[in-house]
Amino acid sequence: MNYLEEVKMKFDIVIGNPPYQENDNGKRDDGAANASASPIYNHFFYLAREVALKKVNLIFPARWLNGAGKGLSDFRRDMLQDQHIRSMSVFKNASMLFPNTDIKGGVLYLTYDKEYIGPADISVIDHDKQRYEFKSYLNSAGSGVFIPYGELVSIFEKVSKVANLKEENIGKITSVRKPYGLATNFFNDPQKFNLPEIYEEKQNKDDIEILGLIKNKRIYKYIPVDYPIPDGRENIYKWKVFGPYAYGSGEFGECVSELLIGRPGQISTETFLVFGPFDSEYEANAFKKYFYTKFFRALVGILKTTQHSTTTYGFVPLQDFTKNSDIDWSLSISKIDQQLYEKYGLDQEEVNFIESKVRSME
């Protein structure tokens, strides 16, 4: 249906809380309902903008600001380039406005003003109800996303001047969702995926070890070296780091579940992402420490709005994880943070922001 063809009336101001998504009864393997539902609030915004003579005031989900949301690429691009947005309030916790409601990435209330051109008055209300206010265009520092804190914008700008984030970011060493082609429920029934039997105990000295999850408990099972692993065979015998595919709620600065060092001969199901490969155990441990730093997780927070974390590492700069690095990886995590702050030229206000907003994993 072409919404615009149906509308003949005009209004000075349009105000509303439009429907957020279609109900297509999509389901994932884990039974989550409406998993493939498409957003429709973007269509309502376009419609409101068409019929309003002066202003549009709407409230709708905010996750598109950070690059998330099914089928919202064009909408995000349009909105980030639009200079008619006079003000925008982002509520990181949607339950502040809608009690007992969990909307990943929060919600926003914006004023679109056809008679205004310039940066928007931004207000971000955090999970802890702390308010941050600043003036900015939505395309923060040309990043292609909205960065929700003024201090984080300046941190991103400084990191971008030192590092070539387009070519050298942690996303380049982050696996796809199924690093070895093994589904989350592979342990329960390998035959379902036309794969042979797996074992609770090692049958041979050179068996490959598989890390997986059963009833929220990390466990290992075993397969022979000639097992038909669907994907990722090239790094089976390399060092790597296993991290959770999904963790937390998308809250800025949250902690991550423990990362595990993957030895040569170890692989995992899709419950885990694989970072690497690395040439030595030292490098794998150095990466693990880097992930735990507040600096790393602050930059992850620019793109991470949900539990899922496959595409959230694009603004985190790669490092040299060897013993020849400009960072001394043998030090404590807090001292590694201090080295990173110095490397990227962060001032005290920016350091204080990270130190106060990002939880410690020392």
Predicted local confidence at residue 177, as pLDDT: 82
In a domain, 246, yes or no: yes
Q: Compute the average pLDDT of residues 306-333.
A: 89
Predicted local confidence at residue 331, as pLDDT: 98
What does the alpha-carbon distance between residue 191 and residue 210 come to, in Å, rounded to a whole number?
16
**In what side-by-side order are the strands of the sheet with 11-16?**
11-16, 52-61, 107-113, 85-91, 120-125, 131-136
In a domain, 163, yes or no: no
Predicted local confidence at residue 33, as pLDDT: 39
Domain total of the chain: 2
Residue 2 has pLDDT above 70, yes or no: no
Same domain, 208 and 140: no
* b (16+ CB within 10 A) / e for 221-239: bbbeeebebeebeebbebb
Encoded tokens for 280:
């030595």
Q: Which residues contact 142 (CB under 8 A, 6 or more apart)?
A: none
Q: How many CB atoms sit inside 10 A of residue 154's CB?
A: 18
Dihedral of CA atoms 199, 205, 208, 213 in degrees, nearest 10, equals: 50
In a domain, 154, yes or no: no
Confidence of residue 320 (pLDDT cuts 50, 70, 90): very high
Same domain, 24 and 80: yes
**Element holding 11 (H helix, E strand):** strand 11-16
Same domain, 13 and 115: yes
Same domain, 337 and 235: yes
In a domain, 271, yes or no: yes
Amino acid identity of residue 252, one-letter, is F
- pTM, to two decimals: 0.86
Contact call for residues 272 and 312 (beta carbons, < 8 A) = no
Pairing of strands 239-244, 120-125: unpaired
In a domain, 180, yes or no: yes
Predicted local confidence at residue 212, as pLDDT: 94
Residue 216 has pLDDT above 90, yes or no: no
Answer with the one of 148, 183, 209 that is the final residue of a domain: 148
Answer with the one of 79, 114, 148 that is the final residue of a domain: 148
Kindly report, residue by residue over 59-85, the tens digit of the pLDDT.
999 989 887 777 898 999 999 999 999
Encoded tokens for 74:
């064009």
Same domain, 118 and 190: no
Same domain, 284 and 219: yes
Residue 124 has pLDDT above 70, yes or no: yes
Residue 24 has pLDDT above 90, yes or no: no
In a domain, 155, yes or no: no
Contact call for residues 191 and 248 (beta carbons, < 8 A) = no
Residue 323 has pLDDT above 60, yes or no: yes
Same domain, 211 and 90: no
In a domain, 222, yes or no: yes
Tell me what percent of the chain is helix, strand and coil, each rounded to the nearest 5. 30, 25, 50
What does the alpha-carbon distance between residue 160 and residue 154 come to, in Å, rounded to a whole number?
10
Same domain, 122 and 179: no
The residues pairing with 111 across neighbouring beta strands, listed in sequence order, are 57, 87
**Nearest in space to 257 (alpha carbons), one of 272, 268, 237, 269:** 272
Predicted local confidence at residue 7, as pLDDT: 53
In a domain, 157, yes or no: no
Rounded to the nearest integer, the mean pLDDT of the chain is 90
Q: Compute the average pLDDT of residues 305-323.
A: 83
Predicted local confidence at residue 25, as pLDDT: 52
Q: Compute the average pLDDT of residues 157-184.
A: 94
Kindly report, residue by residue over 27-51, the tens digit of the pLDDT.
444 433 344 578 999 999 999 999 9
Encoded tokens for 291:
């992930």
Same domain, 136 and 242: no
Q: In this structure, what DSSP letter does residue 317 have?
A: B
**In what side-by-side order are the strands of the sheet with 266-268?**
217-223, 208-214, 266-268
Determine the Cα angle at 269 with ends 214 and 298, to 5°: 95
Report residue 224: phi and psi, to 5°.
-70, 160
Predicted local confidence at residue 29, as pLDDT: 45
Same domain, 343 and 271: yes
Kindly report, residue by residue over 234-293, the tens digit of the pLDDT.
999 999 999 988 777 678 888 988 999 999 999 999 999 999 999 999 999 999 999 999
What does the alpha-carbon distance between residue 81 and residue 181 come to, in Å, rounded to a whole number?
38
Predicted local confidence at residue 69, as pLDDT: 77
Following DSSP, what letter does each residue of 273-302 receive, concatenated? Answer: EEEEEESSHHHHHHHHHHHHSHHHHHHHTT
Predicted local confidence at residue 253, as pLDDT: 84
**Nearest in space to 300 (alpha carbons), one of 142, 179, 163, 169:** 169
Higher pLDDT, 49 or 304: 49
CATH code for the domain of 92: 3.40.50.150
Same domain, 183 and 95: no
Confidence of residue 306 (pLDDT cuts 50, 70, 90): low
Residue 206 has pLDDT above 70, yes or no: yes
**Element holding 80 (H helix, E strand):** helix 73-81
Same domain, 131 and 180: no
Q: In this structure, what DSSP letter does residue 170 have?
A: G
Residue 303 has pLDDT above 90, yes or no: no
Strand, coil or helix: 77: helix
Predicted local confidence at residue 308, as pLDDT: 56
Q: Compute the average pLDDT of residues 310-326.
A: 93
Predicted local confidence at residue 8, as pLDDT: 62
Predicted local confidence at residue 30, as pLDDT: 41
User: By residue range, what is the domain housing residue 342?
Assistant: 170-357
